[in-house]
C-alpha cells in the first residue's frame, strides 16, 4: 500500500514539474505584452499644460480655434527639357515640358493677409495660390520675402477679416506635452493629428544653406507631405511651431516630425516685414558639440567647443580663442550646438551678448557686440534687383561671402522663379564671378549682360556648398 502512495506522489511531482516546464517554455519564447491601461476619468495628468483630469484634454477646442488660421497652398512652376550641346546645353524657346504643381500649408498671421509658410513650399514657384480654410476662397499670393537659412517665407494676399493664429512662446514648451499638427497632407485640407513633444533643439541637417538655423521641436503627431508650412499648436490652439520636415525613408510619416519653434518664426517674420531681409547677428566663431569623452577630458558638463574664430567679428577675434568652451549664453546654459544656434538666431546686429566661457580651467565672462554680414552693427535693408526675364533677385556679395569663399567680387542670385536661370539649372545662392572671362561685382551690369546676350556664354561661379562651377550655354 505504501508503495502505491509513493508511486502516486512521484507521478504528481513528475506531472507538476512537466507542467511547470511547459509554462516556463511558453513565457520564455512568448514573453507577455505589457499594456498600459487607459486613464480613467479621474486620472491626473502631470505636464506643463495639463493639470486637470482626463476630461480636460480637449482636442476639439484647440482644433476649432486654430484650423481657420491654417490655409492650403498650391504652387505652379515651369519645367524645362535640356539637351546636350558642345560644352554645355542648348536651350530652345520650345524646350518647356510643362507646368509642375505642388501643395503645402501656411499659417495666417494677420487679419490683412500676411501668411507664413516654409521656403521649400514656395521655392521656384511662378504662381502661389492660397485657399482660406473657413471661406474656401482662393487668392493669388505675393512673396514678401524668404529666408532659406530657417526655411521660412512670408506671403501676402489681398484679403481682410482673416483669422490670425495666436502665438505661444516655444521656450515654454516641455517634452511630453500634448500638441496638434494642422495642415493639408496628401491634399486633404484641414487635417488635425495629435501627439506629444518628443524632444527639443533637434538638429537634423536638412537646411542646405551657408548659415542654417536648425533647432527643431520634435513631435510624434503624424506629419505627412503637404503638412509643410502648417501649424504645430498646444492644447490652447496657440502656435508653438511651423511644421517643416519628417524623418522617413519612404516619404511618409513613420513617427518623427519636426517644427520650427514659434520664437524663431516670430523673429524671422518681423525682420522680413520690416527690412525685407533677415537681420543675422554674427558672433564670428564656428562651434561644435562636445561628446562624452571630450567633456570628461575638459571637465565640463555642458557647452559647445569653439573650433575656429573666423574673423567675421573683430571683437570676437580679440576676446575668444579656438578651444574655448562656451557654457552660457546671456545666462542660459548651452546644452548643444542647436541650442547655441537658436539663442543666436534671436539676436540682431548691434545686440550685446554675454558669454561665459571655460578656458584653461577657468571661467571667463565677456560681452561681445554682434555684427551684420558686412561686419558693422547697422540693420541692413534689402538692396537686391529683380529680373523677370532671368527669373531671380541679384545682389553684390557681402563681406562674409568674400571671406567664406575667398573671393573679391561676385553677384549672388536668390528667389529664382520662371526664366533663363531655371533653364540653366542655377539654384538659389549661386554666386556669379565671371561671364565670358569678365569679372562682375555689380548686380545691374550682370543682369544687363545675361538679359541681352545672344549666342555662346560661359559662366564661372560658386554654388551654395562652396564648390566652383563652370557652365556653358547658348542663348537664342
pLDDT score of 87: 29
Say what the pLDDT of residue 46 is. 31
Spatial CA neighbour of 318 closest among 283, 353, 281: 283
> Which of the following is catalytic: 147, 151, 220, 428?
151
Domains 47-275 and 285-369 share a fold: no
Please tell me the predicted confidence (pLDDT) of residue 226.
87
Verify whether residue 467 is a known catalytic residue.
no
Q: Could you confirm whether domain 47-275 is CATH 3.90.550.10?
A: no
- Given 120, 133, 238, 316, the catalytic residue: 120
> Which pLDDT score is estimated for 231?
96
What does R_g of the chain's alpha carbons equal in angstroms? Answer: 29
d(CA 391, CA 450): 11
- 82 exposed, middle or buried (CB, 10 Å; 0-12, 13-18, 19+)? middle
- pLDDT score of 42: 31
Task: Indicate yes or no: pTM above 0.75.
Answer: yes
User: Nearest 5°: phi and psi at 19?
Assistant: -65, -40
Could you list the mean pLDDT of each consecutive 10-residue stretch along the chain, which spans 476 residues? 53 53 40 29 33 62 95 85 37 55 93 95 90 92 90 94 95 95 86 93 71 82 89 96 79 79 94 91 92 77 90 91 94 90 92 94 94 91 88 90 90 86 86 95 93 90 90 82
User: What pLDDT is recorded for position 292?
Assistant: 77
Candidates 102, 198, 228, 316; catalytic one:
228
The correct answer on CATH 2.30.42.10 for the domain covering 385-475 is yes
Task: Give CA–CA dist 324/364, Å, rounded.
Answer: 10
Active site residue 119: no
> Is 266 a known active-site residue?
no
CATH number of 285-369: 2.30.42.10
Instruction: Enumerate the H helices of 411-467 as residue ranges.
Output: 420-423, 443-452
Q: Domain ranges in the chain? A: 47-275, 285-369, 385-475
- Pair 244, 260: CB distance under 8 Å: yes
Amino acid at each position: 500500500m505504501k508503495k502505491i502512495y509513493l508511486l502516486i506522489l512521484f507521478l504528481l511531482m513528475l506531472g507538476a514539474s512537466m507542467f511547470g516546464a511547459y509554462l516556463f517554455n511558453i513565457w520564455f519564447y512568448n514573453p507577455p505584452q505589457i499594456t498600459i491601461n487607459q486613464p480613467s476619468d479621474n486620472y491626473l495628468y502631470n505636464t506643463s499644460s495639463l493639470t486637470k483630469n482626463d476630461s480636460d484634454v480637449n482636442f476639439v477646442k484647440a482644433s476649432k480655434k486654430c484650423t481657420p488660421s491654417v490655409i492650403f497652398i498650391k504652387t505652379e512652376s515651369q519645367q524645362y527639357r535640356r539637351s546636350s550641346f558642345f560644352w554645355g546645353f542648348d536651350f530652345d524657346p520650345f524646350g518647356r515640358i510643362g507646368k509642375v504643381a505642388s501643395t503645402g500649408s501656411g499659417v495666417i498671421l494677420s487679419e490683412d493677409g500676411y501668411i507664413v509658410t516654409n521656403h521649400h513650399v514656395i521655392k521656384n514657384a511662378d504662381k502661389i495660390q492660397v485657399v482660406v480654410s473657413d471661406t474656401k476662397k482662393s487668392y493669388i499670393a505675393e512673396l514678401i520675402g524668404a529666408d532659406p537659412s530657417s526655411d521660412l517665407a512670408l506671403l501676402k494676399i489681398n484679403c481682410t477679416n482673416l483669422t490670425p493664429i495666436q502665438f505661444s512662446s516655444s521656450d515654454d514648451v516641455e517634452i511630453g506635452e500634448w500638441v496638434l499638427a494642422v495642415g493639408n497632407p496628401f491634399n486633404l485640407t484641414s487635417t488635425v493629428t495629435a501627439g506629444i513633444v518628443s524632444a527639443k533643439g533637434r538638429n537634423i541637417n536638412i537646411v542646405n544653406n551657408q548659415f542654417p538655423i536648425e533647432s527643431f521641436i520634435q513631435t510624434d503627431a503624424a506629419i505627412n507631405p503637404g503638412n509643410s508650412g502648417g501649424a504645430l499648436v498646444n492644447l490652447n490652439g496657440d502656435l508653438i511651431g511651423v511644421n517643416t520636415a519628417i524623418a522617413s525613408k519612404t516619404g511618409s510619416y513613420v513617427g518623427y516630425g519636426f517644427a520650427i519653434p514659434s520664437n524663431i518664426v516670430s523673429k524671422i517674420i518681423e525682420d522680413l516685414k520690416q527690412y525685407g531681409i533677415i537681420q543675422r547677428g554674427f558672433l564670428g566663431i564656428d562651434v561644435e558639440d562636445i561628446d562624452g569623452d571630450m567633456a570628461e577630458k575638459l571637465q565640463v558638463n555642458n557647452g559647445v567647443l569653439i573650433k575656429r574664430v573666423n574673423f567675421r567679428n573683430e571683437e570676437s577675434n580679440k576676446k575668444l580663442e579656438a578651444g574655448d568652451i562656451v557654457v552660457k549664453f546671456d545666462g542660459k546654459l548651452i546644452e548643444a550646438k542647436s541650442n547655441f544656434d537658436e539663442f543666436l538666431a534671436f539676436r540682431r546686429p548691434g545686440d550685446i551678448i554675454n558669454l561665459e566661457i571655460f578656458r584653461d580651467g577657468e571661467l571667463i565672462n565677456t560681452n561681445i557686440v554682434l555684427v551684420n554680414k558686412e561686419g558693422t552693427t547697422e540693420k541692413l535693408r534689402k538692396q537686391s534687383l529683380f529680373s523677370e526675364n532671368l527669373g531671380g533677385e541679384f545682389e553684390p556679395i557681402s563681406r562674409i561671402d568674400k571671406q567664406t569663399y575667398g573671393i573679391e567680387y561676385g553677384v549672388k542670385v536668390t528667389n529664382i522663379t520662371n526664366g533663363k536661370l531655371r533653364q540653366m539649372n542655377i539654384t538659389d545662392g549661386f554666386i556669379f564671378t565671371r561671364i565670358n572671362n569678365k569679372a562682375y561685382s555689380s548686380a545691374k551690369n550682370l543682369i544687363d549682360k545675361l538679359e541681352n546676350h545672344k549666342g555662346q556664354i560661359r559662366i564661372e561661379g560658386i554654388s551654395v556648398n562652396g564648390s566652383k562651377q563652370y557652365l556653358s550655354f547658348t542663348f537664342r
